[in-house]
Amino acid sequence: MSARQSTLLPLFTTFNTDPVTLARRLLGQRLVRIHQGVRLAGTIVETEAYLGEPDRAAHTFNGRRTKRNASMYLPAGHAYVYFTYGMHHCMNVVCGKKDEGVAVLLRALEPTEGLKVMYQHRFAAKRDIDLCSGPAKLTQALAIDLTCDGINMLTSNDLFIEKQRSRCLPGRLIGRSARIGVGYAHSWAKKPLRYFILGNPYVSRAAPAVKATAR
């Protein structure tokens, strides 16, 4: 029995939607990475939506296509992993339609499985709260790198999302704010496209927040 088959939870499969909806729906679901036979997992507590061609902060702004962002144009459910600042990896979940170029960045997890191994990957971390509280931290903790770029999470045994919740968290439990680190995107830098579980200590950083529209 594989590490994936050992779980009783169904896969999260509803990726074929717009990035704002997916950014909300992913909160409370579980990201799982099988690395060298070990399950490394955490509950998704923070996300950011990237809206494709019109979005100045998106890698696909203005229809840009490069070798680096090719996976962002794949069908919904694929992983888009990129390398940045010469030292960090970040993981996105592709959504929408094929060639639409929209995705959701995973910004923070609450680690739940494989913490001993995560500490080995994140040797600078001293507390559980520091393991996955940022997009580069979570990829390092879960050994997610460019080898994961383009993985189909609907079929992969190595990287997938488990469905811990059948419904999106209620709006009263979701905070939103401007995205982080996209000051270059002009007016798009101020749009409230970052979503997180209110009061969760594992989010990447505190920021002025407003409650998401209840729905």
Taking only the tens place, the pLDDT of each residue in 77-120 is 999 999 987 789 999 999 999 999 999 999 999 999 999 999 99
Average pLDDT over residues 57-75: 96
Token pair listed for 200: 């969760």
Q: What is the pTM of this model?
A: 0.94
pLDDT band at 9 (very low <50, low <70, confident <90, very high): confident
pLDDT range class, residue 2, cuts 50, 70, 90: low
Q: Which CATH number fits domain 19-169: 3.10.310.10, 3.10.300.10, 3.40.50.720, 3.40.50.2000?
A: 3.10.300.10
Burial of 214 (0-12, 13-18, 19+ CB in 10 A): exposed
Q: 176 and 195 in contact (C-beta within 8 Å)?
A: yes
62 CB-near residues (< 8 Å, 6+ apart): 53
